[in-house]
Chains A and B, each alone.
Chain A
């Protein structure tokens, strides 16, 4: 727990600094994309948010399984806080995508497979928190939430593959574009490197938020237990 607190303190400084450095790189030193112009910069928020959303819900999925297996509440707390962060980043994906879609496509929203499955992901994890709120018993809450977290995560492969499986307005993946039989980003290095840096920065930020919220959650549960003992 102490080392978690130490790492939180470190990341509290490192993550914002890295994000700020990435902002400088993107807005000052990155060339303008030919076709889209300035709006292309939204990608540096959109794609890293996607990566964090995928990771955050994967953590919820993995710790959901871990909880059902070992029945340790610490796993459920990690699953819960990761889902919280995932939900925020999923909202950021939807919003930044809409803001980008208006000037690029000519619309904020369409009901194509990519956008619809992403909205579904958001709604599933919104439901995940409603489910948690609706159950009083802590063990029961953890059990139900773990199951929903595992099922909800299964939407992510569908979201990711939707642009290949179905005809969508959303373009297929740029980063994992298959060219001459191998996955190779369809993007010049001047645009790619800042994107990779932004992903790294956003992952650091995720790590910070996760550690911070996890410790809060631990403290909260300890407090509840202490209070319960006091009463009885």
Chain B
């Protein structure tokens, strides 16, 4: 076997592996999370598998137990069908009812056990005109 052939074969193997990895990575990257609808439509596909679901926190479902550091809530897209989520961990500062979140974890008996809870920030920026506190006080409260 000529040296050139070895290079061609080796190169093809490396290229093939890279291509396979990037296709897999690309699929994971382009769909960073599933929606509750997709998960509820095919529950068996998502059993015993670590997945991410992105949805809104359904208002009125949040239960935060500071003593055991346990957060329970429902996520939904349309307020019609929702998935119950439990998360053992500190509640993020930006976590609110109606807020977009991405949870990573597994479905266990119809309940999504989240290992990670990310808050999805909306592209809307607002200023509350009624709440113009003194800037000095605000900066002090940030530092402390």
CB distance from B46 to the nearest CB of A (A): 16
Contact between chains at B123 and A106 (CB < 8 Å): no
Expressed in whole angstroms, the minimum distance between the Cβ of B84 and any Cβ of chain A is 20
Interface-located stretch among A85-93, A111-119, A127-135, A202-210? A111-119
CA of A35 to CA of B120 in the docked complex: distance in angstroms?
A: 12
A105 contacts the other chain (CB 8 A): yes
Q: Is the CB of B32 within 8 A of A38?
A: no
Known A-B contacts A35-B94, A111-B28; A167 and B33 likewise in contact (beta carbons under 8 Å)? yes
Say how far A190's CB is from chain B's closest CB, in angstroms: 5
> A173 and B123: CB pair below 8 A?
yes
Residue of A nearest to B143 (CB): A38
- Report A-chain residues with C-beta under 8 Å of the C-beta of B135: 28, 32
- Known A112-B32, A167-B33, A168-B32: A105·B128 in contact at CB below 8 Å: no
Complex-state Cα separation, A155 to B143, whole angstroms: 39
- 0 or 1 for each of A39-54: is its CB under 8 Å from B? (1 = yes): 0100000000000000
Instruction: Determine whether the beta carbon of B31 is less than 8 Å from that of A40.
Output: no
8 Å CB interface, B1-53 against A: 28-33
Instruction: Name the residue on B nearest A29 (C-beta).
Output: B135
Is A191 in the interface zone, CB < 8 Å from B?
Answer: yes
| Per-position binary interface string of chain A over residues 79-114, scored 1 when its CB falls under 8 Å from any chain B CB and 0 otherwise | 000000000000000000000000111110011110
A34 to B128, Cβ gap below 8 A? yes
Interface residues on B, range: 20 to 34
* Partner of B92 from A36, A106, A169, A191 at Cβ < 8 Å: A106
Distance of A9 Cα from B117 Cα, bound (Å): 50
Q: Is the CB of B32 within 8 A of A188?
A: no
Counting chain A residues whose Cβ lies within 8 A of the other chain, the interface size class is 35 or more
Q: Which of B29, B117, B131 touches A106 (beta carbons < 8 Å)? A: B117
Select from chain B the residue with minimum beta-carbon distance to A32. Answer: B138
CB <8 Å contact, A166 and B32? yes
Would you call B142 an interface residue if the criterion is a C-beta within 8 Å of the partner chain's C-beta atoms? yes
User: Contacts A113-B32, A166-B31, A186-B124 given; 14 further ones with Cβ under 8 A?
Assistant: A28-B135, A33-B125, A35-B122, A103-B93, A103-B94, A104-B94, A104-B121, A106-B92, A166-B30, A166-B32, A167-B54, A172-B123, A174-B124, A186-B123
CB distance from B133 to the nearest CB of A (A): 8
B interface, CB within 8 angstroms of A: 28-33, 54, 92-94, 102, 116-128, 131-132, 135, 138-139, 142
Tell me the nearest residue of chain A to B128, going by C-beta: A34
Alpha-carbon gap, A150 to B122, bound state (A): 33
Among A33, A104, A168, the residue within 8 A (CB) of B119 is A104
Residues of A near B94 (CB, < 8 A) are 35-36, 103-106
Query: Taking the complex as formed, is A136 at the interface, i.e. its CB lies under 8 A from any CB of chain B?
Result: no
Please give me the residue from chain A that is nearest to B124 by CB atom. A186
Which residues of A pack against B, CB within 8 Å?
28, 31-38, 40, 103-107, 110-113, 116, 165-169, 171-174, 177, 186-188, 190-191
Q: Which residues of A contact B116 (CB under 8 A)?
A: 106-107
The answer to whether B126 and A33 have CB atoms under 8 Å apart is yes
B30 and A191 contact, CB distance less than 8 A: no
The answer to whether B127 touches A110, judged by C-beta atoms less than 8 angstroms apart, is: no
Closest A residue to B120 using CB positions: A169
Task: Give chain B nearest CB distance to A38 CB in angstroms.
Answer: 5
Complex: A37 Cα to B29 Cα, angstroms = 30
Alpha-carbon distance A112/B123, docked complex (angstroms): 17
- Which 8 pairs, one residue from A and one from B, show the smallest C-beta to C-beta distance? A187-B125, A112-B32, A171-B123, A166-B30, A174-B123, A34-B126, A34-B128, A106-B92
